Structure 1
């Protein structure tokens, strides 16, 4: 039954089991029309299983999958308003570019005219900046061009939803960055819903409107990319999305004082109620200020630089902090005495705004 919906995709209490193995459990998900959503998580987290249930390649063991308000349980892939771009593109090597793109159009019933098929294939290739490549053979094209052929083939049928199964994984870093921009531009131009599966957190944060972080077959957090990064729901999200330092401590009875294992006391802003006891403080590397240790300096964490990675405008330092162990610090070169790099072996002081801490039960 079709019902009015503002969402292109909905999961209602969806579970998927393979024998005794539960791949996803109790998934409730709503993807608004025209959104670019990334399903992000480690291998085995359940993200690809969810993508395959949207595409119809898997059926839920429990619950309901809806597209455009219509229940999709039991509906085969070719009956869904969805197309998919696979990680390895799955192009036909014996077809030229136009034949690859037009393949889906030739399967439609009632049959389309030859001229209409050619025109629509040409329009799809223009959208992905491959106009004039119609007669080129697939093996004559670069990886990035092949990826765009796969995209053209997926959008030529004008689907409501486009599914992307780690489509950039096989590309080198420079080409991957260029294709991220291409995909964002294409999604805005088409105005259709994109669902991207990736384990690359930078890819998810940079490309999508919404990020759905999954782990062990469940949704841990779904929010805007900036909110996911700045306000992680738990320690897993803080660890998995971006880099973070984990500091062991104890939340005292007043609920606002944290005592670290080296005896240092930190004040905690009361963002949420937590029971006193063992906690883990998560702190982003860029939230820490690094200065060379001076005799007059008071406060902060004192340590020794053990490693340095030069990244151009920034540098990453591994610092052995007295009594607490290794810390990772990302420092803008301009913030360290007029751009001088700190050398391994130097003693430094680390300071940070307690408001930048994220505190989770240990």
Structure 2
């Protein structure tokens, strides 16, 4: 196998067993060169196992892992063109910044000259905007700065693939948002493949250009963030990625009428679904909340039970008789504070059936 592949990472029918427990089952995955891939899913879904098989910390029980077109089965971590940033950074507390970043270079064989090591350390620190911090002790650095030191240490060896194991989990929300932007910028500047493991949907959607949603050791959907959010492949993806309202329904024999559990009916283009029990999934932002019924939309009357004020938007919990509780996100642009709907008010919920996703129950 040559290294002329256009993909940096390939999984070919990969299965990983730990004794009687199967962590991942028959995974087929290709990651193009220079992509930013997010492995997204709940705890125990197999995403970290996949990351560790790319890094060489685990070997597949079946199938093949390739990097840059070369088979990696049996090749140890230190001989792979990858590096990894761990969730807790794993920095050496007794080393300063410069010594932490230089550590991997000093293990290389044939040995690099001191001048080459110093040049590459300075280059790596400049990449992560820490030039001037070389002599700083690790305990003197903030959480965000320590994360950048870990990035510099991983990048200084010039890997083909950078693996990120929930690297932002220990940061506060504001710093996490800032580091998401910095990681995106860095990945675009370097042009190398990033693989991020996360259970945070917002993090995956905002950072990656390819999202791989996993559950129970299998891939449920692979696509761009917009595809995964707007066109979920199944009910698990619709539920896990973002927020979703679910309505029990029955698809009638005509293949286009959905009878809801309160007896009302809506029309939707669901000809590919067999008649029978179904679930209608609708995003909170696709529902319009008004004080008067909308004539151009499927409309239901309910009562606001809770309101969460979010600044530019507000989230409402609305109870609809016969259908249950709905979560609605209302954008506040152009409306006054006094126009916020109060808990206890009667409202109407309207949505375009074409915005709903229909799944077999």
Higher mean alpha-carbon deviation, 102-111 vs 3-12, is at 3-12
CA–CA distance in structure 1, aligned partners of residues 294 and 205 of structure 2: 42
- Following superposition, the deviation at residue 137 of structure 1 comes to 0.4
Q: Does 1:360 align with 2:334?
A: no
2:26 equivalent in structure 1: 26
1:146 equivalent in structure 2: 146
- Following superposition, the deviation at residue 333 of structure 1 comes to 2.2
CA–CA distance in structure 2, aligned partners of residues 193 and 131 of structure 1: 24
Alignment partner of 1:300: what SS? Answer: strand
Q: Deviations over 1:270-303 (max 9, x none)?
A: 4x51111000000000000010147999961010
1:162 equivalent in structure 2: 162
Q: Deviations over 1:182-201 (max 9, x none)?
A: 00010011100000000000
1:198 equivalent in structure 2: 198
CA–CA distance in structure 1, aligned partners of residues 66 and 16 of structure 2: 15
1:325 equivalent in structure 2: 324
2:105 equivalent in structure 1: 105
2:114 equivalent in structure 1: 114
CA–CA distance in structure 1, aligned partners of residues 110 and 251 of structure 2: 68
CA 1:299/1:117 → structure 2, altered by over 3 Å: closer, same or farther?
closer
1:312 equivalent in structure 2: 311
CA–CA distance in structure 1, aligned partners of residues 20 and 282 of structure 2: 38
Task: Report if the CA contact (8 A) 1:25-1:218 is conserved.
Answer: yes
Task: Report if the CA contact (8 A) 1:15-1:62 is conserved.
Answer: yes
Q: Does 1:345 align with 2:352?
A: no
Q: Does 1:230 align with 2:230?
A: yes
Task: Report if the CA contact (8 A) 2:297-2:352 is conserved.
Answer: no
Q: Which runs of 5+ in 1 are unaligned?
A: none
CA–CA distance in structure 2, aligned partners of residues 296 and 24 of structure 1: 49
CA–CA distance in structure 2, aligned partners of residues 219 and 295 of structure 1: 40
1:273 equivalent in structure 2: 272
Q: Deviations over 1:120-151 (max 9, x none)?
A: 00100000000010000000000000000000
Alignment partner of 2:203: what SS? Answer: helix
Task: Report if the CA contact (8 A) 2:294-2:350 is conserved.
Answer: no
Aligned residue pairs total 361
1:71 equivalent in structure 2: 71
TM-score, length basis structure 2: 0.97
Task: Report if the CA contact (8 A) 2:261-2:323 is conserved.
Answer: yes
Give me the CA root mean square deviation: 1.6
CA 1:87/1:297 → structure 2, altered by over 3 Å: closer, same or farther?
closer
CA 1:229/1:111 → structure 2, altered by over 3 Å: closer, same or farther?
same
TM-score, length basis structure 1: 0.97
